[in-house]
Amino acid sequence: MNKKAVLTYALLFCAVAVASPWIGPEPVKPSDVFGTGQALSSPAQEIFWLQRIPRVLLALIAGGTLALTGAVFQVLFRNPLVEPFTLGISGSSALGAFITILYPSLWLKWGPFSSVQLFAALGAGACLLLIYSLSTRPEGISIYTLLLAGVTISIISSGAILLLTYLSDPHSLVVFQHWMMGGIDVIGYNSMFSLLPLLIPALTLLFFHSKELNHMALNDEMALGHGVDIKAVRRNVFIGGGLAAASVVSVVGPIGFVGLIVPHAVRRLSGFDQRTVLPCSFFLGGAALAVCDAAARILIAPTELPVGIITAVIGGPLFIRLLVSRRFHKL
């Protein structure tokens, strides 16, 4: 484990967390935020504590989670193009959320949780269950079947979304299109707290298997030689990564390219040890999404761009650059 690299990425993560809340169309000064003794006694304090801070925290957590799950899935499948979108998790989550948006009678709210998150998580869970059952063989999990099943479910989910879009009323369509673009325009901390019940155990499970993923990144024979229970690790990592991605997508929508680009950048800069790649991917992914969200707040101020547009515009050319360089083949 490269402790120096992990510390460097962690410091970048913290620096972005400290700087990002001060960026926005409405100027906020430290004296306006900390100058009075009473909490939220001025508009500047409300903007800072109820809008910017929760937004930055959610961006850091969501970006880190997407990058981490992308890094894990790329090792699990030994495929540099794999991320939650590829496996159909994002598409099935979006389909579940759209069903709730399309039918207001299904809308419910329990504290920080809502039926949009519930149906998005159920859609991702159904996707995980179907993919896992299709790919399970007596000798273990078929990686190729797993990947093909994920791509197929992603296509089916997109087709179902198009059908529902054609049948939906304009108001529901506008709400869903905004959600599909990916956004972190939240007020208060409920959205961030609603991530934690699924996210904490899922991330714990992924980090727990980082050492085994080092062996599995090479080949199954070497992993077996080091005493790795390949079936159990694949199952746990697949479920943990799927639940982590679903919990994020259910809140911020399907934000693309973070889970694809960031792990490649970390490997090129800091090596291939998964005990380093996983935490560094989390830190860099969180910092990257928070920076993109800060840019989304100010590029066309006072209007805000959905952060998913920023990640697509930046991530697309970067990924083409990786394809041209052909240096991304090794995991």
Q: Are the beta carbons of 56 and 297 closer than 8 angstroms? A: no
Residue 124 structure tokens:
């991702």
Specify if 160 maps to a domain.
Answer: yes
Q: What is the pLDDT of residues 187-240, one digit of tens each?
A: 888 888 888 888 999 999 999 988 898 888 877 777 888 888 888 888 888 888
Q: Output the pLDDT for position 188.
A: 83
Structural Rg of the chain based on CA atoms: 20
Is the pLDDT at 140 greater than 70? The verdict is no
**Rounded CA separation 39/18 (Å):** 19
pTM: 0.89
Say which DSSP state 87 is in: T
Q: What is the pLDDT of residues 276-306, one digit of tens each?
A: 999 999 999 999 999 999 999 998 878 888 8
Q: What is the pLDDT of residues 96-108, one digit of tens each?
A: 888 887 777 777 7
Q: What are phi and psi of 144, to 5 degrees?
A: -65, -40
- CATH number of domain containing 225: 1.10.3470.10
Is the pLDDT at 327 greater than 60? The verdict is no
Position 39 confidence tier, pLDDT thresholds 50, 70, 90:
low
Q: Output the pLDDT for position 7.
A: 96
260: left (phi over 0), alpha (psi -120 to 50) or beta: alpha
Q: Output the pLDDT for position 10.
A: 97
**Rounded CA separation 259/224 (Å):** 28
Specify if 331 maps to a domain.
Answer: no
Q: Output the pLDDT for position 112.
A: 66
Q: For helices 274-298 and 190-208, what crossing angle results, to 10°?
A: 160
**Rounded CA separation 63/151 (Å):** 22
Residue 186 structure tokens:
């939240």
Alpha-carbon distance values, 205 to 54, 63, 84, 136, 243 (Å):
25, 18, 17, 21, 11
Q: Output the pLDDT for position 111.
A: 67
Specify if 182 maps to a domain.
Answer: yes
Q: Output the pLDDT for position 203.
A: 93
Position 36 confidence tier, pLDDT thresholds 50, 70, 90:
low
Specify if 201 maps to a domain.
Answer: yes
Specify if 330 maps to a domain.
Answer: no
Give alpha helix (H) positions in 78-142: 89-102, 115-135
Q: Average pLDDT for residues 64-90, to the nearest whole number?
A: 85
In sequence order, the β-bridge partners of residue 137 are 140
Q: Output the pLDDT for position 23.
A: 92
Specify if 264 maps to a domain.
Answer: yes
Quickly count: other Cβ atoms within 10 Å of residue 317's Cβ: 10
Q: DSSP per residue over 186-234, as a string?
A: --SSHHHHHHHHHHHHHHHHHHHTHHHHHHHTT-HHHHHHTT--HHHHH
Residue 33 structure tokens:
């935020």
Q: Output the pLDDT for position 42.
A: 78
Specify if 81 maps to a domain.
Answer: yes
Q: What are phi and psi of 219, to 5 degrees?
A: -165, 165
Q: Average pLDDT for residues 30-57, to the nearest whole number?
A: 81
Reply yes or no: is the peptide bond before residue 302 cis, omega within 30 of 0: yes
The number of domains in the chain is 1
Q: Which domain holds residue 239?
A: 3-325
Q: What percent of the chain has pLDDT over 70?
A: 93
* Closest listed residue to residue 312, CA positions, set 244, 249, 254: 254
Residue 246 structure tokens:
């679903």
Specify if 115 maps to a domain.
Answer: yes
**Rounded CA separation 188/191 (Å):** 7
